[in-house]
Structure formats: structure tokens, C-alpha cells
């Protein structure tokens, strides 16, 4: 089980009654979906109830295990497995890497997050639409970050109901083109593009919104760091229209840097940076509010460092979200 940890402090795991007596390295291998060697390395970096741990330590119910996020990232990369941020008997919180599809294309095989879930948690296989393996929402292939998957039919129905009611909060970090120096809110429906099957578009006109079967969508955008030609932002939403963050940011003239669909990606581009790092939802079994966090991938470091070296204004100009500068339909 994973609690949200203060920014930069790492991931905190809590041992349950069922974990009593387990070795620390075995517990980490299961909880973080890494191999045994990686788990042994993580155990030497972990702290149990605030104290330095050893890989052979035996756990007790209620023990709090803290692991630095940088070590989790390196361990997960080494094992190329399924990164589980929270594991409950009825729900999983997963951290999807960029480049991995959430679900394989219909009729196609190949690797996907759903396929990895089904291999490790076979009880998820038949939950939801065929091939989803319990996933109750998706991320674009190029997007990394948190996803929820159900392990029981009851949890699947309850989580889907939360999404329909816009009761799940998602927060992303994104690198966008251009300088964005003030918070804003974008309330513009999203519908199918009239000439490109792979694309959707923001639709300002009410008549066109009806014609293209658009979905209401709302995104709060807050600048976090402004560079010379780009801005690192946080985008917060409770709606989940297809490509929502990418389309909304493009609609205000700040597409994701390197987005081939909604911006401009030069040949050989490294792709866009978009990470779903924060998720707020309600545990369907206990009714308690849950917050989950996932650090941005280590692959972001080099691109952000390059922007910092070339910018003429590396300082943050971010403020708190406000009514000023809002984009409304």
C-alpha cells in the first residue's frame, strides 16, 4: 500500500497484517513490481519507521517503509516490469512508462500495460472491455503516469461511476511550447476532427459541438517554470476527453513541445513530455479519499537541464490558479 509522500521525499509503503513476518526485500519486490536483485538494492536504501533498514529485516503490520523515488525509477527501469504504486485486494494504482500503450490496438498483440497487468494479476483479465484487464481509464502511448485498474467487478463498477461523475482528479506535468506566465482555465468541449481519424479538436461553437458529438472538458493550467521558448506547467482536470490536455493546450497556442499531432515535431524529435503524476480518487471498499503520486521519469532530466542552460529567464513565474486569464467557451 502506498501513501502520498511529500514532494521529493520518495514513496512510502505501509505493511498490512498479511505482510507481517515478510522480509523487506521480498515485500519491496512485490509492492514495486521489481526483480529480486533490484528489491535487495532498494532495501539497502529504504528506511523502516524512520530507521535505516537491512534487506533481511522482517516486517510487522503498520510498518512504514520509505524508498527514494530515484532508486525506484532506476530499479523499475532495470527490471522493465509493472510498476505498482498501490496494491489493494480490489484496486491497483499503476505507473505507466511513456511509449507503452495502455491497451493494445483491437485485434493486435504486442506489449501493453493491460497485457502486463493480466500476466501478473490474472483476476483482472475479464474485467471491463476485452483487453483492458481492469483498467478504468487510459493514457496516450506517449504519456507516462498513474492509472487505476480494478481487481474485482464491484471495484470496477464503482471506479467507473466515479469517472462518470467527474469525481476523480488528475494532475499532469507538461512541457509546452512558448512562454505562459499566468494561470488559466480552459472550458472548451472536445470532439472528433472532421478530416483526421487520429485527431480530435477543441470546439468553441455550440452548433459544431452538437454536430461533432463533443464532450465537455475543463482543464486548469498553472505555469511552474518559464524558459526562453517553453514552459513547464501543471494541468489539473476532472474530465477525461480523448487527448484533452494536448488539445486544450494547443487551443491556446501552447501545444506540447514535440507533439506530432497538435504541435510541430521535427524529424528525430524525442517526442512530447506529459506525465500524469497525481491522482485523487475514493477507495470503493472503505469510502476514504486516496491521493497517489508518481515522480516524473528520469528521462525528463536531460531535456529540462538543456532548457535551463539555454534560457534567459530560468526562474518560475507560477502563481496560484485564479479567475484571471481564463479561457471559456
pLDDT band at 237, cuts 50/70/90? Answer: very high
Q: Which helix (H) or strand (E) holds 120?
A: helix 113-120
Above 90 in pLDDT, residue 169? yes
If one compares 329 and 213, the residue with the highest pLDDT of the two is 213
122: burial class by Cβ within 10 Å (0-12, 13-18, 19+)? exposed
pLDDT of residue 77: 44
CATH topology of domain 1-79: 3.10.290
Cα(236)–Cα(172) distance, integer angstroms: 6
Kindly give the interhelix angle for 36-45 and 69-79, rounded to the nearest 10 degrees.
Answer: 170
What is the C-alpha to C-alpha distance for residues 20 and 15, in angstroms, rounded to an integer?
7
Kindly state the average pLDDT of the residues 4-31.
73
Per-residue pLDDT at 267: 55
Q: What is the mean pLDDT of residues 316-327?
A: 40
Number of continuous H segments (helices) and E segments (strands) in the chain: 8, 17
- Among residues of the chain, what percentage have pLDDT more than 90? 46
The more confident residue out of 39 and 262 is 262
pLDDT (0 to 100) of residue 4: 36
Q: Taking the complete model, does pTM exceed 0.85, yes or no?
A: no
Q: Choose between 14 and 194: higher pLDDT.
A: 14
Distance CA 321, CA 113 (A): 33
* Catalytic center residues: 140
Domains of the chain, by residue range, sit at: 1-79, 82-165, 168-329
Mean pLDDT of the chain: 82
Cα dist from 313 to 107, 317, 321, whole Å = 49, 10, 22
Q: b/e map of 296-320 (b: 16 or more CB within 10 Å)?
A: bbebbeeebeebeeebeeeeeebee
Asked whether the predicted pLDDT for residue 44 surpasses 80, the reply is yes
Residues 64-109: tens digit of each pLDDT: 998 886 555 554 444 447 899 999 999 999 999 999 999 987 645 5
CATH fold match for the domains 1-79 and 82-165 = no
CATH architecture group of domain 82-165: 2-Layer Sandwich (3.30)
Looking at the domain that runs over 168-329, which CATH code has it been given?
3.30.2350.10
Amino acid at each position: 500500500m502506498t501513501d502520498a509522500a511529500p514532494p521529493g521525499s520518495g514513496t512510502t509503503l505501509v505493511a498490512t497484517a498479511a505482510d507481517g513476518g515478510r522480509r523487506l526485500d521480498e515485500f519491496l519486490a512485490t509492492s514495486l513490481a521489481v526483480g529480486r536483485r533490484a528489491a535487495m538494492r532498494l532495501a539497502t536504501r529504504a528506511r523502516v519507521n524512520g530507521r535505516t533498514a537491512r534487506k533481511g529485516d522482517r516486517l510487522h503490520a503498520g510498518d512504514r517503509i520509505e524508498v527514494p523515488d530515484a532508486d525506484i525509477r532506476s530499479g523499475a527501469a532495470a527490471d522493465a516490469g509493472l510498476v505498482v504504486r498501490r496494491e489493494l485486494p480490489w484496486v491497483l494504482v499503476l505507473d505507466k512508462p511513456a511509449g507503452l500503450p495502455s491497451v493494445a490496438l483491437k485485434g493486435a498483440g504486442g506489449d501493453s500495460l493491460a497485457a502486463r497487468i493480466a500476466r501478473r494479476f490474472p483476476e483482472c483479465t475479464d474485467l471491463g472491455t476485452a483487453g483492458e484487464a481492469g483498467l478504468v481509464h487510459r493514457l496516450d502511448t506517449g504519456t507516462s503516469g498513474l492509472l487505476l485498474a480494478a481487481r474485482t467487478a464491484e471495484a470496477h463498477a464503482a471506479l467507473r461511476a466515479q469517472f462518470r461523475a467527474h469525481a476523480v482528479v488528475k494532475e499532469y506535468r507538461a512541457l509546452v511550447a512558448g512562454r505562459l506566465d499566468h494561470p488559466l482555465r480552459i472550458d472548451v468541449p472536445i470532439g472528433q476532427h472532421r478530416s483526421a481519424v487520429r485527431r480530435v479538436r477543441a470546439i468553441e461553437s455550440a452548433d459544431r459541438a452538437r454536430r461533432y458529438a463533443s464532450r465537455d472538458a475543463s482543464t486548469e493550467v498553472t505555469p511552474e517554470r518559464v524558459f526562453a521558448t517553453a514552459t513547464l506547467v501543471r494541468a489539473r482536470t476532472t474530465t477525461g476527453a480523448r487527448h484533452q490536455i494536448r488539445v486544450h493546450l494547443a487551443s491556446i497556442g501552447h501545444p506540447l513541445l514535440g507533439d506530432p499531432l497538435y504541435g510541430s515535431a521535427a524529424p528525430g524529435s524525442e517526442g512530447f513530455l506529459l506525465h500524469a503524476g497525481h491522482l485523487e480518487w475514493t477507495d470503493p471498499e472503505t469510502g476514504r479519499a486516496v491521493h497517489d503520486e508518481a515522480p516524473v521519469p528520469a528521462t525528463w532530466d536531460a531535456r529540462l537541464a538543456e532548457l535551463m542552460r539555454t534560457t534567459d529567464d530560468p526562474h518560475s513565474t507560477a502563481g496560484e490558479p485564479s479567475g484571471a486569464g481564463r479561457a471559456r467557451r
